[in-house]
Structure 1
Amino acid sequence: MATDNKYDRQLRLWGSEGQHLLNTSRVCMLGSSGLSSESLKNLVLPGIGFFTIVDDTLVTERDLGENFFVTQSDLGKPRADVVKTYLLELNPDVQGESLIQSIPSVLSNPSFFQTYSLIIACQLSFSEIRTLGAICEQNNKKLIVAKSNGLLGYLRIYCKEHLVIESKPSDKEIYDLRLYEPFPELLAYAESISLDGIQDIYHSHIPFIVLLVKFLKEWTETHGTKPRNMEEKTRFKDFVKGKSRDFFAQLNFQEAVSKAYLCFLEEKLPSEVMDILNDEKSVNADVNSEDFWICAKAVKEFMDRNQTVPLSGIFSDMTSDTNSYITLQNIYKNRADCDYIEVLQNYQRIKGTNQEPEIVRQFCKNLQTLEVTRFRSLESEFLSINAESIDEDEFEESKSLEWYLALRALDWFIQDQNREPTQDDKETLIKHTETLGKSIASEIAEEIIRFGKSELHCISAFIGGALSQEAVKLITHQYTPINNTFLFNSVHTTAVVLNL
């Protein structure tokens, strides 16, 4: 084995800092159903620090078909105790407890949740979810609720504000090379390299960054300005290509042509990142603010003073000889370090400290992909569903919103009538969804009645996997979480995100 660290593969995803946040997290699980077990299993294995399972339900015959963490010998025992015991066998690094107490009694004591970093609720009624949502909103707690009903799976995330420095977008390739306006050290290095009179092997290993800096400077001196329109940009690429000795044999020139667009991009941040830097919390950040917002203010002060963005220091692979690559890498690193030090000094002045927290460096490094997600509260959702979701559902073949409303109607009926509905109650469910904002189709009402309170293990396993993935995002503050509702519909084999 290359390593004896059992967390090695996941460390490559969220790093040592993310693993530390997982190892020190405290998770409260309300419910001990099959969905609860599957969700916690996927958090115990990567190494959360501590969990509590709250439930006073006893193991029944029905659980044997829904929950793989109970056996026939467990019949009649407290389900939370049984599930906790089996879960702890999966990872000796994790600690856990079971609390044999009814969920309504815990919800009546909001202070119970104070010590937890994440609260998860599985298979609760929507009225209980609404109460829990209000508790989490008042106490600034992160919450994930989930349901598995028949062939439907439901997942809802809430926290007041989720701050992400390392969003790690998979659909973006981040470059911060400063080719449009090269900084002095980069420009000096590029000008020190001559392309004339050198052997082909060296000519073919000059980094594309150097080539573009030199050729853009030459173009600008000749034409009086940088390429501005599509015609000029195309001509510039042809100009770069013409500087090669054998274009199809020189990978560095091919890279230069393919990356020539970077010469046309001014050094500015995406609008959503500028919105973060200009956010009221950033502008008014002080010693009592969260580090994220202090960093945002420190970066904004840097930009106002220098009229540019702190260099990230991110440096990618390219065709080059070793010496040139290392020299170029150090030039970017040294400049990034200088910018970081200035941002750090701003941070220290605002914070009133001499400490050098790692968050400042990470903030500068990941500046282009910062994210702030503010979730709509559950209370707002229960008062009125987001109108945009209703409009969008009109054009969606699987009618995901209608299935969600059907879940709400089913839950309401069971709570109101103290029984599961029959097909004779179909019109009652349809009329109730009208009060929620939209009437559901008759066939959807029929299906949701057939589902009743059934919980299929395969659906629970799927939703449990999605839930644990979102939990890791919330705990580690990495990657982009769902905002705010995920609905899996195995009737139509669709999975959609709705902002309700």
Structure 2
Amino acid sequence: MSASATPANDLKTQKYDRQLRLWAATGQSALENANVCLLNATSTGCEILKNLILPGIGGVTVADGGVVDPKDISTNFFLESNSIGLPKAEAVIELLKELNDDVSASFVTKAPSELINNEPEFFDPFCMIVATDLHEEDSIKLSELCQRTNKVLINVRCKGLCGLFRVQSPEHTVIESHPENVVDLRLLSPFRQLNEYVDTFDLDSLDQTDHAHVPFVVVILKYLSAWKAEHGGEGPTSYSDRNQLKVQIRAGMRTVEEENFEEAMANVWRLASSSNNIPSEVQKIFEDEACQNITAESPDFWVIASAVKAFVANEGEGQLPLSGKLPDMKSDTSNYVRLQKVQVLFLFQKQDINPTRRYREKAQEDLFAVTAHVSAILESMGAPPDAVPAETIQSFCKNAAHVKVFKYRNMKDEYITSPRTEQIVSWIENDANMSFYITYRAADRFFAKKQRWPGSEAGDSAEDVELLQQEILAILQSVGISEEKAQELLKCDLMDKASTNYVRFANRETTNLAALIGGLVSQEAIKLITHQYIPINNTCVFNGIASTSSVFEL
């Protein structure tokens, strides 16, 4: 088929091929339906939008009341010399919208402060607000507004050689967290079909070829059964025990080339009891009030979570639904591919030696049971039994051990109502990057008093450093640090670097840090929009002086 005859959806698939591999069609659909607002057309803000526009965000709007001046040109790749004197929001949108014709791009030439204080309804169409360079008072007001209206807020600051951003979101649930290890073999609690399958093997009677193709799951379970027989029914509970089991498996190898036995030894660690328990985070989800008290307004996530909890207590016998995900095993490649397609395969005429079908049958059985619980919950509320999409239930069951729930604090809680002073003190003493967070907070206090940022005006920069450090001292004392200790911390090299760095760069961005922070923020934005992968909670600081980063739950 020629390119001109290719259907539009195929062209779209080709255009977004790489990201579809990362977050699939469901994630791409969520991205294309998202509408994001950027407050202040800073270099960092434009880098964030660039990284959202390229993968096909639905729409972006830039709000900025300023005009382009020569200094802006030197730090923002999305401003040109012929833009000087033009509204900054209009100028950056002209270049940003060229990145992707699929994206709706607009601008508003009003100051973010005016919109926050006088036109809060302006934010109604947006699902996410990215705020750059807001001072503390406006940041707190916007934070409260976003909390009331269930919007995601990412507050971003990037000056000199340091940047930080803070995420605030309504309750955020993640089904597809994409963990590295999703394999669930049920070695300590094998299900009936697996036990029956393992019983069909007699390792001693197999010829050399068949012996080398026995799946490692069978090898482990055979030797585990022998271990239990010798130890009063107890499995290998300690690291030392598991090493002894490896020795026994190695002794059963007929040649040094039996990869299936090598695979078995490499997977013995899965017999550790902790790897077979329900994860503590999932247990907390089951105990959450939202899971225990399902209503007609409950999101699909909580309906399914409640159904899975019921499954665990009944059909699951204390276990989560089987994911059905298996690792690669020593087998004939072409036949294994056929097995993935048809789920039934006899690699040899003597017997079916691949356990994939048994795991998939069990996973399907568990999925049916969870779906029945979901339908029962929905019917009890007078909702249609199929109101929750089947693909969502299936995804939850596949990822049941790795689902996540994040609950974020707003900025008023962080700054005023319930600051986490003890944790902040601990971080100050143990994490150098907390110095930059404190410095940004101090810069806000400086702005509140001077109505300008530290270093933003020509003059004695040393004086601004001193004034900024006075605000740092006040913040340190406000979190419970004694004056003597605060003075000591203020004089340390890290705190001094943080404050002098801020003033030295005259409250301006550097293009390299703007690009880096823009990449980090856009990555978190996509996680929050697609509800895939694990977002931060809630503040990330990047220290460009030492090239390190830290995440603080403030």
Query: TM-score range, shorter-chain basis?
Result: over 0.9
Matched, 1:206 2:214: yes
Shift of 1:255: 1.1
State the partner residue of 1:390.
Answer: 425
State the partner residue of 1:138.
Answer: 148
Q: Distance in 2 between matches of 1:448 and 1:390?
A: 22
After superposition, what is the alpha-carbon deviation per residue over 1:357-392, rounded to whole angstroms, capped at 9, x for unaligned?
A: 322111111111111111222111211642213212
Change (3 A) 1:348 1:127: same
Displaced runs of 4 or more, over 4 A? 1-4, 324-327
Residue 153 (structure 1) aligned to one of 158, 163, 175: 163
User: Counterpart of 2:447 in structure 1: which amino acid?
Assistant: I
After superposition, what is the alpha-carbon deviation per residue over 1:457-489, rounded to whole angstroms, capped at 9, x for unaligned?
A: 111111111110110111111111112111122
Change (3 A) 1:232 1:453: closer
State the partner residue of 1:435.
Answer: 474
User: Counterpart of 2:266 in structure 1: which amino acid?
Assistant: S
Change (3 A) 1:158 1:419: closer
State the partner residue of 1:258.
Answer: 266
Aligned with 2:331: secondary structure? coil
Contact conserved, 1:287 with 1:350, CA < 8 A, in 2? no
Aligned with 1:394: secondary structure? helix
Q: What is the aligned-residue identity percentage?
A: 34
> TM-score normalized by structure 1?
0.93
Matched, 1:381 2:414: yes
Q: Distance in 1 between matches of 2:209 and 2:92?
A: 65
Contact conserved, 1:389 with 1:499, CA < 8 A, in 2? no
Shift of 1:112: 2.4
Aligned with 2:154: secondary structure? strand
Aligned with 1:89: secondary structure? helix
Q: Distance in 2 between matches of 1:470 and 1:237?
A: 42
State the partner residue of 1:479.
Answer: 533
State the partner residue of 1:126.
Answer: 136
After superposition, what is the alpha-carbon deviation per residue over 1:95-146, rounded to whole angstroms, capped at 9, x for unaligned?
A: 1111122212211233322222211111222221111111111222111111
Structure 1, 423-432 or 126-135: larger mean CA deviation: 423-432
Q: Distance in 2 between matches of 1:15 and 1:215?
A: 40
State the partner residue of 1:312.
Answer: 323
Unaligned runs of 5+ in 2: 4-9, 336-345, 455-460, 478-485
State the partner residue of 1:490.
Answer: 544
Residue 451 (structure 2) aligned to one of 415, 418, 424: 418
Change (3 A) 1:416 1:431: same
Shift of 1:326: 8.4
Contact conserved, 1:164 with 1:477, CA < 8 A, in 2? yes
Where do residues 74-113 of structure 1 align in structure 2 (5 Å cutoff)?
Answer: 74-108=83-117, 109-113=119-123
Change (3 A) 1:453 1:222: closer
Unaligned runs of 5+ in 1: none
Where do residues 154-303 of structure 1 align in structure 2 (5 Å cutoff)?
Answer: 154-170=164-180, 173-230=181-238, 232-246=241-255, 248-265=256-273, 267-303=276-312
Matched, 1:449 2:512: no
Aligned with 1:144: secondary structure? strand
Where do residues 329-368 of structure 1 align in structure 2 (5 Å cutoff)?
Answer: 329-351=356-378, 352-355=383-386, 356-368=389-401
State the partner residue of 1:9.
Answer: 18
Aligned with 1:97: secondary structure? strand
Contact conserved, 1:31 with 1:54, CA < 8 A, in 2? yes
Aligned with 2:182: secondary structure? coil
Structure 1, 351-360 or 92-101: larger mean CA deviation: 351-360
Structure 1, 415-424 or 142-151: larger mean CA deviation: 415-424
State the partner residue of 1:467.
Answer: 521
Contact conserved, 1:45 with 1:90, CA < 8 A, in 2? yes
Change (3 A) 1:53 1:251: same
After superposition, what is the alpha-carbon deviation per residue over 1:55-92, rounded to whole angstroms, capped at 9, x for unaligned?
A: 12111111110111111111111111121121111111
User: Counterpart of 1:31 in structure 2: which amino acid?
Assistant: N
Change (3 A) 1:420 1:54: closer
CA RMSD of aligned residues (A): 2.2
User: Counterpart of 2:359 in structure 1: which amino acid?
Assistant: Y
Q: Distance in 2 between matches of 1:150 and 1:261?
A: 47
Aligned with 1:249: secondary structure? coil
Q: Distance in 2 between matches of 1:453 and 1:263?
A: 55
Q: Distance in 2 between matches of 1:477 and 1:57?
A: 34
Aligned with 2:522: secondary structure? helix
Structure 1, 74-83 or 254-263: larger mean CA deviation: 254-263
How many pairs are equivalent? 495
Contact conserved, 1:268 with 1:309, CA < 8 A, in 2? no
Change (3 A) 1:304 1:337: same
User: Counterpart of 2:503 in structure 1: which amino acid?
Assistant: I
Shift of 1:203: 1.0
Shift of 1:168: 1.9
Shift of 1:152: 1.6
User: Counterpart of 1:372 in structure 2: which amino acid?
Assistant: V
Change (3 A) 1:116 1:219: same
Q: Distance in 1 between matches of 2:157 and 2:96?
A: 20
Q: Distance in 2 between matches of 1:378 and 1:420?
A: 20
Where do residues 25-40 of structure 1 align in structure 2 (5 Å cutoff)?
Answer: 25-40=34-49
After superposition, what is the alpha-carbon deviation per residue over 1:266-312, rounded to whole angstroms, capped at 9, x for unaligned?
A: 74211111111111111112332011111111000001113222111
Q: Distance in 2 between matches of 1:494 and 1:122?
A: 21
Contact conserved, 2:323 with 2:363, CA < 8 A, in 1? yes
Contact conserved, 1:227 with 1:264, CA < 8 A, in 2? no
Shift of 1:215: 2.7
Q: Distance in 1 between matches of 2:209 and 2:236?
A: 33
Change (3 A) 1:253 1:6: same
Aligned with 1:376: secondary structure? coil
Shift of 1:252: 0.4
